[in-house]
Amino acid sequence: MLERRFLLASALLLILAQIACLPSSQRQITHELTPGDSLSREIAAAAPIDSLQMVSVIYGTEESPMELPTSLEWLPDSLGGKLFVVDTRRASLHVIGRDGVYEEEWQPDGLEYPYAAGVRGDTLVLLNRGQNRLDFVREAEIVRSSPLPEEEISAALVTDSEIFVKRSDEKAIRLLRVSESGALVASYNLPGPYWRHIGFLRAWGDSLLSLSGYRPVVDVLAMDAPDGAAADSMALAGFDSPQLVRSNQYMLGEVDKPPLLVSSAAPFGDNLFVLNLRADHIRIDVYDREGRIERVLVYTDVEALPNAFPVDIAVRQDGDALLFALVMQNPGRLLSDPSGYVLILRWSRPAA
């Protein structure tokens, strides 16, 4: 058990390079939380905890292994309920049936470093970062593409009626609304430094969510916001992590890199389900629309799983319960190849 925990913790350090090296013994560093994080930890301590049940673990095949899965999309039941896992290294899509059985791999010509960007009707949309465009994929083929107005796009979201992308580098930190032809329609400001805005984009009703991997906050923008509007920051009240001290050290300039706190999140109904990264168990925090924690969901039997950690999450209804599909990733080491799989967990929600 100790060996496994050590390996998983090491993988987190190596893969994401988010946790800084130990500072010199000559430097004085803080071991305190920010006031906001301290209050959030107190709120988290009172949140009820539920257990998640294992449903299935889904791998690729010998011919179509999941090499570096990064993101996923779950089609609604009306469209078959299939799960599509984007493999960025193989530039492909792994197709999993509604019954949880691996079906096939799609490898459309022209994909280069793809990431999931949404679903429009029966068509999957991918951010093709290698070609700086959006690709609309149906039945293993790119049926059309849309160029992006700027480079350095780190995330994209396509809904039935809107296209948003996130441009986040050291020079420009913005959300962009894009037309169907790829023209720039509107630009929105994101507060704070660029590193705080690295994360997926999500739609939650009539709001756009810009996730942050490195701080427990979510930037919220109305879908119909006018050009030049600024997003509002919603703190996740009740977020707790062993890495919050390290996060404060980074903001104070005492360490070189911020720790990754949240790998992804998915809105569903009136809740936001947040992947709170832990080395020894899987944790999903449940927040309301105001960003206050309602409940914590945990799966602790990770010793039985291949060594990996969750990088993306999708949610769907399953009778009175919810199903969570997690992309589990092990990016490999110097002498080992990356790998991954999909973990399906079930939460039987308590009666209201």
Q: Which amino acid is at 291?
A: G
Q: What is the pLDDT of residue 169?
A: 79
Is the separation of the CB atoms in 294 and 47 below 8 Å? yes
Residue 69 has pLDDT above 60, yes or no: yes
Q: What is the pLDDT of residue 133?
A: 97
Distance CA 312, CA 318 (A): 19
For the chain, what percent of residues have pLDDT higher than 90?
83
Which two tokens mark 280?
Answer: 């020894």
Q: pTM for this structure? A: 0.91
Strands 217-222 and 282-287, by their bridges, are unpaired
More confident residue, 169 or 100: 100
Mean pLDDT check: name the lowest of 6-20, 25-39, 70-84, 239-253.
6-20
**Cβ-based neighbour number of residue 296 at 10 Å:** 17
Residues forming a β-bridge with 187: 176
How far apart, in Å, are the Cα atoms of 303 and each of 3, 65, 69, 93? 10, 22, 21, 28
Q: What is the pLDDT of residue 352?
A: 64
Residues forming a β-bridge with 58: 342
Q: Tell me what the mean pLDDT of segment 279-293 comes to.
A: 97
Q: Tell me what the mean pLDDT of segment 187-201 comes to.
A: 91
Kindly indicate the confidence band of residue 177, based on its pLDDT and cuts at 50, 70 and 90: very high
Quick: pLDDT tens for 206-228. 999 999 999 999 999 999 999 99
Closest by CA position to 317, among listed 286, 284, 351, 348: 348
Residues 6 or more apart from 170 whose CB is under 8 A from it?
A: 194
Quick: pLDDT tens for 17-54. 443 444 444 467 899 999 999 999 999 999 999 999 99
Question: DSSP string of 164-195?
Answer: EEEEESSS-EEEEEE-TTS-EEEEEE--S-GG
Q: Tell me what the mean pLDDT of segment 158-166 comes to.
A: 96
Q: What is the pLDDT of residue 3?
A: 45
Residue 237 has pLDDT above 70, yes or no: yes
Residue 70 has pLDDT above 50, yes or no: yes
For the chain, what percent of residues have pLDDT higher than 70?
92
Q: What is the pLDDT of residue 1?
A: 47
Mean pLDDT across the chain, nearest whole number?
91
Residue 16 has pLDDT above 80, yes or no: no
Mean pLDDT check: name the lowest of 24-33, 123-132, 234-243.
24-33
Q: What is the pLDDT of residue 126?
A: 98
Residue 350 has pLDDT above 70, yes or no: yes
Q: What is the pLDDT of residue 27?
A: 61
Quick: pLDDT tens for 252-266. 999 999 999 999 999
